[in-house]
Amino acid sequence: MNQYVIADPKRCIGCNTCMASCSQTHRQHGLQSAPRLQVMRNRIDSAPVMCHQCEDAPCAQVCPVNAIGRKDNAIYLNESLCISCKLCGIACPFGSITFAGSQPVDIPRRCHTSKALPAPEAPAAVSPFVDCVPGVRAVAVKCDLCSFSPDGPACVKTCPTQAITLVTPVLAHQASLQKRLNAMNALSAGIVAFTASDRENA
């Protein structure tokens, strides 16, 4: 079983701290600064949506350059191998893969020289799947569980209400055992109640 991050909408307050910490942490390690999760809201609840670390990983199956693969009980993406084909984002059933690109840090955004024509202005943004920014290569970004950090996922560490949890195989097994125990206790209580009522009717 893959480990993954899950959020409790009852605890989430929609503060976007998880998105900010995700972006900052990855930027500090030289990766794309786009957050790997998005806080979604409706009239009542809010919760971050991120990669589900699928066992069958449709994104990895369609990647033509093997930029997405399994490692340490999770699905990881190698940004250096990505060729911007966007097939992984189309294949993801949860919409957890987006695309972003950043320009070199030391080069100004509008750096023109007399030896080259100026780059055209970027058209208005429509969607990460169709946007095209001149001079910037769009790279797939997805949750990598902050594998480069010994502290684990930044979103889990910085969430002010502890709404986000890293689910490991051990934790999932414990939760499954507890669920079975609760079911057995409920069944036992039902049998006892049925027996008691049966005696009263007799």
Are residue 38 and residue 129 in the same domain, yes or no?
yes
Contact 152, 164 (CB under 8 A): no
- CA separation for the pair 130, 124 (Å, rounded): 11
Range of the domain at 97: 4-106+125-167
pLDDT at residue 11, rounded to an integer:
93
Q: Do 144 and 78 share a domain, yes or no?
A: yes
Give pLDDT tens digits for 44-73: 889 999 999 999 999 999 999 999 999 888
Cα–Cα dist 91/77, whole Å: 14
% of the chain at pLDDT higher than 90? 45
Q: What is the pLDDT of residue 155?
A: 95
| Predicted confidence (pLDDT) at residue 130 exceeds the cutoff of 60 | yes
Domain count, the chain: 2
Structure tokens at 65: 């350059």
Residues 199 and 129 in one domain: no
Inside any domain, residue 114: no
My answer on whether 74 and 161 are in the same domain is: yes
- Those residues with Cβ within 8 angstroms of residue 39's Cβ, 6 or more apart along the chain or in another chain: 12, 14, 16, 18, 19, 46, 47, 48, 49
Spatial distance between the Cα atoms of 110 and 41, rounded to a whole number of angstroms:
36
Residue predicted with more confidence, 134 or 58: 58
Question: Is the domain of 178 the same as that of 95?
Answer: no
Query: Are 150 and 198 contained in the same domain?
Result: no
3-state helix/strand/coil string of 62-76: HCCCCCEEECCCCEE
Nearest-5° Cα angle at 90, 51 to 82: 75
What's the distance, CA 157 to chain centroid?
A: 15
Domain-located, residue 31: yes
Q: What is the dihedral of CA 100, 104, 110, 111, to 10 degrees?
A: -150
Q: Is residue 200 part of a domain?
A: yes
Q: Is the pLDDT of residue 75 over 90?
A: yes
- pTM of the predicted protein model: 0.73
Q: Which residues pair with 4 in a beta bridge?
A: 167
Same domain, 91 and 58: yes
pLDDT tens for 90-126 read: 999 999 999 988 665 555 666 667 777 776 777 788 8
- Enumerate the H helices of 4-75 as residue ranges: 17-28, 58-62
